[in-house]
A and B are shown apart, each in its own frame.
Chain A
Amino acid sequence: MASTLGLLLSFLIFPGLLFTAAMGLATQWVDRKVSALVQWRVGPPWYQPFADILKLLGKEIVIPAGARRAGFLFAPMAGFAAVGVVSTMLWLTNLNGAGFVGDLIGVIYLLTIPSLGIILGASASSNPLASVGASREMKLVLAYELPFIIAIFTAVTKVSPMTLRLDGILEYQAANGVLLGNVSCILAFIVCILVAQAKLTYPPFDIPEADTEIMDGTHIEYSGAALAIIKLQQAMLLFTLPILFITVFWGGLVFSGWNILYTIVKYLIIIVIIVLIKNVNPRVRIDQAMRFFWGPVTLIAVVGMVLAILGF
Chain B
Amino acid sequence: MDAIKWGFKKSLWVFHLNAGACNNCDIEVLDCLCPKFDIERFGMKLVGSVKHADVLLVSGSVPRKVMPDLIEAYEQAPKPVAVVAIGACACTGGIFKDGYNFAGPVDKHIPVDAYVPGCPPRPEAIIGAVVKLMGKL
A contacts, CB < 8 Å to B:
32, 36, 39-45, 47-48, 50-62, 211-212, 215-216, 220-224, 227
B6, B38, B51 pick with most chain A CB within 10 angstroms: B51
Closest 9 CB pairs of A and B: A54-B7, A215-B48, A55-B7, A58-B4, A51-B10, A60-B78, A223-B78, A51-B11, A223-B51
Q: Are A45 and B47 in contact (CB under 8 A)?
A: no
How far apart are the CA atoms of A157 and B99 in the complex, in Å?
75
Say yes or no for B79: interface residue by CB 8 A criterion.
Answer: yes
Q: Give the bracket for the number of chain B residues in contact with chain A.
A: 20 to 34
Kindly provide the distance from the CB of A59 to the nearest chain B CB, expressed in whole angstroms. Answer: 5
Q: Are B6 and A54 in contact (CB under 8 A)?
A: yes
Q: Are B10 and A47 in contact (CB under 8 A)?
A: yes
B41, B48, B80 pick with most chain A CB within 10 angstroms: B48
Q: Are B7 and A62 in contact (CB under 8 A)?
A: no
Q: Are B49 and A58 in contact (CB under 8 A)?
A: no
Q: Which of B40-88 contact A (CB under 8 A)?
A: 40-41, 43, 47-49, 51-52, 54, 76, 78-80
Overall SS of chain A's interface: loop
Contact for B40 among A40, A41, A215, CB less than 8 A: A41
Q: Are B51 and A40 in contact (CB under 8 A)?
A: no
Kindly provide the distance from the CB of B137 to the nearest chain A CB, expressed in whole angstroms. Answer: 9
B3, B4, B7, B54 pick with most chain A CB within 10 angstroms: B7
Q: Are A216 and B52 in contact (CB under 8 A)?
A: yes
Q: Are A36 and B40 in contact (CB under 8 A)?
A: yes
Chain B 7-23, CB within 8 Å of chain A: the 1/0 string?
11111010000000000
B3, B11, B79 pick with most chain A CB within 10 angstroms: B11
Contact for A216 among B40, B48, B76, CB less than 8 A: B48
How far apart are the CA atoms of A54 and B43 in the complex, in Å?
13
